A and B are shown apart, each in its own frame.
Chain A
Amino acid sequence: MSIETRPTPETNTVESSSELIRLEQVTKRFGDNTVLDHLDFSVDAGKHVTLIGPSGSGKTTILRLLMTLLKPDEGTITVDGQRLFPASDKEVREVRKKIGMVFQQFNLFPNMSVLRNITEAPVTVLGMSKDEAAERARGLLEMVGLADKCDARPTQLSGGQQQRVAIARALAMRPQVLLLDEVTSALDPELVAGVLDVLRDIARSTDITMLCVTHEMNFARDISDQVLMFDSGRVIESGPPEKIFTEPERDRTREFLSAVL
């Protein structure tokens, strides 16, 4: 099984250690609540980074800032050398092409067939022909094990199937970065494995950069190059999964892990 990823010159020419995402001194407040506090944070191209930490620690906020669903109050965000914040609407639209996101609640379009959910953006945003988009969509559906569901409506699918369609939909835009926001949290336990298997495949067989917020620690251990432990809007510890999960340095990390593992 192989997945076509964006064969852009950017990804092909960058060194594996080059920086793709950078947040500098980013602060985000909701009212009086400071969710991110002058956060510096960067991710190298092709890396799989998992954000862990207690809820309310700002993990999801980072993904939402990168997807431009939120705007920071202070700081700068760049992706692949281009500004995402502060930036003009036009710049934002350009940079956003490089980023895909999968949501906790799937957010498929219920008024469209599964196939059109996947082809809609490639056709209207990338200007792909309908035939080409449909062919690629079928390939992606096959990859996520749902080749027979092209004509189904999202509401006819199980949560796990919907989430796999949502993954296919995000990949159809050939993003360089895939943001995964607690993608299995809304699923029945028996459906989680299917979704995680698909993501493991993607992590293994593509050079896509992944930012993942999850409570599935085994999954995080499997796919991550780097794990970041968040607490109160700051990264309090980071490192390879073997280190974070087996010998964390901070008491807070140890405490958190013993609560979730």
Chain B
Amino acid sequence: MNWNWSAVSDFMPHFWDGLLVTLQILVVGSLISFVLGLVWALLMRVPSRWVTWPVGAVTEFVRNTPLLVQLFFLFYVLPEWGVTASAMTTGVVGIGLHYSTYTMQVYRAGIEAVPVGQWEAATALNLPLRRTWTAVILPQAVRRVVPALGNYVISMLKDTPLLMAITVLEMLGEARLFSQANFQFTEPLTVIGVAFVVLSYLASLLLRALERRLVH
């Protein structure tokens, strides 16, 4: 195996481009999954089967089909129905939607872990339902689920290369393009491998700091 430092330095400009795209996917995708997951979790508590059944069916379907298939579907099939978006938008929405079906479970567990006495105290104080959710239940539930949500962010980071399949040039996409053009595979792939490790580690540090702040 020949290691060529000049290939590394040649790749670096492309690497930074890819890193930026990967981070954008991660940040926007996470936000989508956090918000949408909460929406699903709340809808599943609506006391009507007309709501819970469709939401349950859709999220179950999304959770149990591969992200790659969903990305292909969104990117290649939706345009046939007249829905078009850039590869990046499609990819971010796809990964956010996919992960929202996981975060939904996390929120559900967090909400169920709030003691029933909290609901009873809110009732005894005559708090409106909406206020009970926003002021009492969700702040306690979200605090509990931050570690689990953080794990999904790290998991999502490792799924971002799937967006390469729909032409998004994130880190792996950049590496592949560079490799094919220059017949140098070792250096770019190693660089992005290290980058993934560093990003995961930084994310876990951030997560632990956040946990500490929320616990105390």
Closest CB of chain B to A101's CB: distance in Å? Answer: 4
Bitwise interface map of A from 91 to 108 toward B, beta carbon under 8 Å scored 1, else 0 = 001001101110101011
Tell me, yes or no, whether B118 is within 8 Å of chain A by CB. yes
Bound complex: CA of A66 vs CA of B209, how far in Å?
45
Do the beta carbons of B120 and A69 come within 8 Å of each other? yes
Binds A, one of B55-63, B132-140, B147-155, B198-206: B132-140
Do the beta carbons of B128 and A125 come within 8 Å of each other? yes
Bound complex: CA of A173 vs CA of B124, how far in Å?
10
Q: B49: which A residues are within 8 A, CB to CB?
A: none
Q: A121: which B residues are within 8 A, CB to CB?
A: 125-127
State which size class the interface on A falls in: 20 to 34
Bound complex: CA of A67 vs CA of B115, how far in Å?
18
Tell me, yes or no, whether B208 is within 8 Å of chain A by CB. no
Do the beta carbons of B124 and A170 come within 8 Å of each other? yes
Do the beta carbons of B127 and A120 come within 8 Å of each other? yes
Q: A101: which B residues are within 8 A, CB to CB?
A: 124
Do the beta carbons of B126 and A107 come within 8 Å of each other? no
With an 8 Å Cβ cutoff, the count of chain B residues facing the other chain is 17
Picked from A93, A111, A124, the residue with its CB within 8 Å of the CB of B139 is A111
Do the beta carbons of A105 and B117 come within 8 Å of each other? yes
Tell me, yes or no, whether B143 is within 8 Å of chain A by CB. yes
Interface of A, helix, strand, loop or mixed by DSSP: loop
Residues of chain B in range 98-120 having any CB-CB distance to chain A below 8 Å: 115, 117-118, 120
Do the beta carbons of A68 and B123 come within 8 Å of each other? yes
Bound complex: CA of A108 vs CA of B124, how far in Å?
12
Bound complex: CA of A60 vs CA of B167, how far in Å?
64
Do the beta carbons of A111 and B143 come within 8 Å of each other? yes
Closest CB of chain B to A208's CB: distance in Å? Answer: 15
Q: A124: which B residues are within 8 A, CB to CB?
A: 127-128, 131, 135
Do the beta carbons of A125 and B123 come within 8 Å of each other? no
Closest B residue by C-beta to A100: B124
Do the beta carbons of B126 and A120 come within 8 Å of each other? no
Do the beta carbons of A169 and B125 come within 8 Å of each other? yes
Closest A residue by C-beta to B129: A89
Contact flag A125-B127 (CB < 8 Å), given A69-B120, A107-B120: yes
Closest CB of chain A to B64's CB: distance in Å? Answer: 34
Closest B residue by C-beta to A170: B124
Tell me, yes or no, whether B78 is within 8 Å of chain A by CB. no
Do the beta carbons of B135 and A120 come within 8 Å of each other? yes
Bound complex: CA of A120 vs CA of B128, how far in Å?
11
Do the beta carbons of A108 and B128 come within 8 Å of each other? no
Would you mind naming 10 contact pairs between A and B with Cβ atoms under 8 Å apart? A68-B123, A96-B126, A99-B124, A101-B124, A107-B121, A109-B121, A120-B125, A121-B127, A125-B125, A170-B124
Shortest beta-carbon contacts, A-B, top 3: A121-B125, A107-B121, A107-B117
Extra contacts, 17 of them, besides A101-B124, A111-B139 (Cβ < 8 A), are A68-B123, A97-B126, A99-B124, A100-B125, A103-B121, A108-B121, A109-B136, A111-B143, A120-B127, A121-B126, A124-B127, A124-B128, A125-B126, A125-B127, A169-B125, A170-B124, A173-B126
